[in-house]
Structure 1
């Protein structure tokens, strides 16, 4: 099994080739590289772990730049998990080095550059607006945090369930009636869940394929009671 110390020679060569003076095990830092007044700390581990991230973050107290060094994977896969890790490293302003012990080479995967948080947030503004819109459109909290592989009660599904409840109260409804509730008029015609059927010009009813009573029965009944109360008050 490869040891962390096996990566040292490749790291030493990598930084010395760039004009750094390299020393190992300096005041609890695995590797230190010095060039002029630039102090670089490198922490080595056999894999990317929370422990390694913590160590690297602590080194940022004293070093100008900090790298994490891990063995080069046999297969480099840029999947979601890896992209998320790279994002975390960028947010933490940490660099990542892949060390190929057999070839005695080092590849810089991610530089320890300054992360512009405001720029990052601006780039994700559209996604933030989508989140805000989704939250504002949900009138109930019908999901459990941490759920995986289950149908989620999205704002669109809630709107569809409200349409089902309204039809149960009024028999048939029109797109304009949905619009009055703040629901998109096209929900009935798009009929994403196949719960509705057009029975006349601008009129829709239930087609017999209703949402699961076990999953949404209580919610439909809650919405139905709301609309019954509203109709009585009119």
Structure 2
């Protein structure tokens, strides 16, 4: 049995996994037709694929075994990263989504500990969507709030155009064209129900409150909306087409 300081090999995973399934009443065999471990009890066939690291190759290998096995597990050494981290939760979601089971083997000084966070089970996609209906609603609301595709998918460290920012630009262009306005007047121009909230919050510093119920565009606003020419031009053109300017 390897200690914490010893180098671990894939074959070191075999004995603890074999012992576990043997205790569950299975007959266990290693290296059966390219399967790392095969366990059988009656007509139930379980296959376990073992690797030192969880990678795409292991997942592909395991899903291929699903063509003929009743259940398939992947077995890896227990990772050093926190099992409560977002990254690890996402990894576990992927494994569950593939309907695989997960076995973690921890090599300690005097013994080997085996943990099975979850066994193979059918993935209920409809149930998953119901649990995430709020996220779906947020995406659809965000799309509805945009009037064009101003972002490039996969962009990194670039300014992203959101529905909120576009709404701010819409308000700023109205104030730039017509001067000081009330939230009611802005809403009548189509700036939406969040107009008052946006003006009060003034997240980007684009607006100045000149008196109660009346706002104007700030110098910062005049300068910064020019950084989004496509969106600003869309709203300026919209006002010209509607005969407002």
TM-score (norm 2): 0.88
CA contact (8 A) 2:73 2:100 kept: yes
CA–CA distance in structure 2, aligned partners of residues 73 and 92 of structure 1: 20
Q: Tell whether the 8 Å contact from 2:82 to 2:88 is kept in structure 1 after alignment.
A: no
1:232: Cα distance to partner?
4.1
Range that drifts further, 6-15 or 168-177: 168-177
**Residue deviations 1:75-111 (CA, integer Å, cap 9, x gap):** 4342121111111111111111111245233110222
Q: What SS is found at the alignment partner of 1:209?
A: helix
Task: Find out whether 1:205 has 2:216 as its counterpart.
Answer: yes
Aligned residue runs from structure 1 range 34-45, under 5 A? 34-45=40-51
Match of 1:156 in 2: 164
Alignment of 1:75-86 (within 5 A): 75-86=81-92
Change (3 A) 1:203 1:229: farther
- Equivalent residue number for residue 27 of structure 2: 21
Give the distance between the partners of 1:64 and 1:125, measured in 2 at CA.
32
> TM-score normalized by structure 1?
0.92
- Alignment partner of 2:241 out of 216, 223, 229: 229
Contact 2:83-2:89 within 8 A present in 1 as well: no
Match for residue 193 of structure 1 among 204, 211, 221: 204
| Corresponding residue SS for 1:143 | coil
Q: Distance in 1 between matches of 2:41 and 2:141?
A: 50
Which deviations, in whole Å up to 9, do the C-alpha atoms of 1:39-97 show, x marking residues without a partner?
11100111111011111111111111110000122443421211111111111111111
Equivalent-residue separation in structure 2 for 1:77 and 1:22 (angstroms): 29
**5+ long unaligned stretches in structure 2:** 1-6
Cα offset, 1:218, TM superposition: 4.3
Q: Cα RMSD (Å) of the superposition? A: 1.8
Q: Given that residues 101 and 120 in structure 2 are in contact (C-alpha distance below 8 angstroms), is that contact kept between their aligned partners in structure 1?
A: yes
Write the mapping of 1:136-151 to structure 2, written as runs, cut at 5 A: 136-151=144-159
Mapping for residues 2-151 of structure 1, pairs under 5 Å: 2-102=8-108, 103-151=111-159
Q: Rate the CA distance shift 1:27–1:54 in 2: closer, same or farther, 3 A.
A: same
Distance 1:208 1:89 in 2: 52
2-structure distance, mates of 1:75, 1:137: 39
Whole-Å Cα distance in 1 between the matches of residues 103 and 169 of structure 2? 51
Say which SS state the counterpart of residue 68 (structure 1) adopts.
strand
CA gap of 1:75–1:122, structure 2 versus 1, over 3 A, is closer
8 A Cα contact 2:171 2:195, kept in partner:
no
